[in-house]
């Protein structure tokens, strides 16, 4: 079940790829196949419910190209994980610093409420 801001299936699909729902669908399908000991996966179905009127609901099966795209993302994740494990180097974007703001971001009291 996914909420969506789009009534259009095409726009939902675009956002689904951007938010890695294809990776999610592939991983759930793979996990279920491994758990059940089967070589073929069962259909993965999204229920996409529009969050605004007219509150359309779509039942969308993840197709082959969608799952294959997720599989490619999964393989990339595995290769990055293996490289990090092999080298014991885990890069991240952590940092230490001080936050400052430019003069145009600074708050200027107007006191317009006092008049």
Q: 63-104, pLDDT tens digit by residue?
A: 999 999 999 999 999 999 999 999 999 999 899 999 999 999
Domains of the chain, CATH where assigned: 2-87 (3.90.320.10)
pTM above 0.85, yes or no: no
Q: b/e map of 30-62 (b: 16 or more CB within 10 Å)?
A: eeeeeeeeeeebeebebebebeeeeeeebebeb
Handedness of CA 9, 15, 19, 20 (dihedral sign): positive
Q: Given this model, what pLDDT does residue 109 score?
A: 84
């Amino acid at each position: 079940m996914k909420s969506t801001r789009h009534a259009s299936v095409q726009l939902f699909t675009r956002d689904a790829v951007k938010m890695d729902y294809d990776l999610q669908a592939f991983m759930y399908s793979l996990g279920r196949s491994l758990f059940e000991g089967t070589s073929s996966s069962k259909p993965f179905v999204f229920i996409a419910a529009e969050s605004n009127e007219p509150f359309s609901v779509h039942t969308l099966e993840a197709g082959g190209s969608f799952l294959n795209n997720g599989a490619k993302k999964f393989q990339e994740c595995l290769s990055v994980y293996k490289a990090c494990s092999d080298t014991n180097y885990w890069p991240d974007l952590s940092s230490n610093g001080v936050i400052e703001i430019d003069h145009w971001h600074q708050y200027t009291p107007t006191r317009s409420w006092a008049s």
